Amino acid sequence: MDHFYKILSLLVLANMNLVINGQAISGEDGPDTCQPWSVRMAGTVMTRYPHLTGMDLNFHGRSSPKWQYDIAMLAGAIDRLGTVDKKYEDYMKDYIDFFISPRGQISPYELCDYNLDKIRPGHNLIILFERTGGEKYRTAIETLVSQLEDQPHNPDGGFWHKAVYPYQMWLDGIYMSSPFMARYGQVFNESEWFDEVVRQITVIESHTRDPETGLLYHAYDASRGMKWSDDETGCSPHFWGRAMGWYMMALVDVLDFFPENHPGREPLIEILNRTSEAVARVRDEETGLWWQVLDMGGRPGNYLEASASCMFVYAFAKGARKGYLTDEYGSLAASSFDSILSEFIEVEENGLLNITNGCFAAGLGGLDYRSGSYEYYINERRGKNDSKSAGPFIMAAIELNR
């Protein structure tokens, strides 16, 4: 019943001007155009969705908000601006608190789904626990840890993406779970989780990396039972941009938490370098951006895609800043960010931003069977202002101080 009233109030607020910190906020009050791009995009999101659950309700057309990886990722991106103004931290906290009861129960959430997507908001939970010490966050964190402790896995230890996708590892799942495991290992001094991060990242690379291009296929089915899986390798047919974007972001983010002397640290940096080299080779020569299907630039129907481009820029910029990658990648990131601004960013008269040409969703198998074919990827729905584009755009802009 509490969630019913929360949802009702959000629907009412979405249709009226709101007051935040004593100031009226409406669609006519956009972010300051003199501010950094990260602040402008965050301000745009907060103006359109004064409570971030509204993005789930309005953008995804749901009747109630979900414990959702992509919205949590966007919330975490905005939270990074908390050093500028605490309102950004409060915005993320309000989103996460919507789903967490005073006793630390996550709703809606089903542990037995063993869905790695549901682990990603746990990263936000750890941030809030570190910031507040709230026991409800610790309880919710441990719920997610218990899922990972029993996560179904292949004989080589690779986590299934979900219980309903048996034997399948997806690149997406590395980002959904590995930064959480690494941060948990550091904050709670449980070093075995670093070993698990290394296992997941290296196992999926060993199965999905194409020896000719160095690119990673979207997913791998150890059983070879899916129609999309290759009979010999078990891999899906194509290199999807955002799947590799998730993987690259996971690599640079998990290293934030790894001990300097951990034996898996250098192998992860080596993976980051060889994967970055492969991704850099398939940049569009004219714009410096990346295609929906990475290695098929210029093929009819393929298009330059916003979320993957922002993810790669973020990974390159952070990797260079941290010294994992050479300075060349920092320069590459800066020039590609210029192209993101010219190709994907629209500025409305009121100062609000639109980020265009983002793929809304793509997967494999499922009830509405997704074949992983070239035609499948280029025909999935795309458009403006998806969280999976806006979040990495904010993070890339922060890394480049733009």
Number of CB atoms found within 10 A of residue 101's CB: 13
DSSP 3-state of 127: helix
Cis check for the bond before 36: say yes or no (omega within 30 of 0). Answer: no
**Helix segments in 110-166, DSSP class H:** 121-132, 135-149
For residue 237, the 8-state DSSP code is S
CB 52 within 8 A of CB 91: yes
Active site residue 172: yes
In the three-class reduction of DSSP (H, G, I as helix; E, B as strand; rest coil), residue 180 is classed as helix
Paired with 219 in beta bridges are 170
Q: DSSP secondary-structure letter at 104?
A: -
Of 66, 365, 395, 382, residue with least CA distance to 245:
395
Q: Tell me whether residue 239 is exposed, middle or buried, using C-beta atoms within 10 angstroms of its C-beta: 0 to 12, 13 to 18, 19 or more.
A: buried
> Letter for the amino acid at 238?
H
Contact 242, 380 (CB under 8 A): no
- The residue annotated as part of the active site, out of 56, 70, 172, 386, is 172
CB-count exposure of residue 31 (10 Å: 0-12, 13-18, 19+): buried
Give ∠ CA 219-225-231 in degrees, rounded to 5: 75
Q: Give the distance, in angstroms, between the CA of residue 357 and the centroid of all CA atoms in the same chain.
A: 17
Enzyme catalytic residues: 172
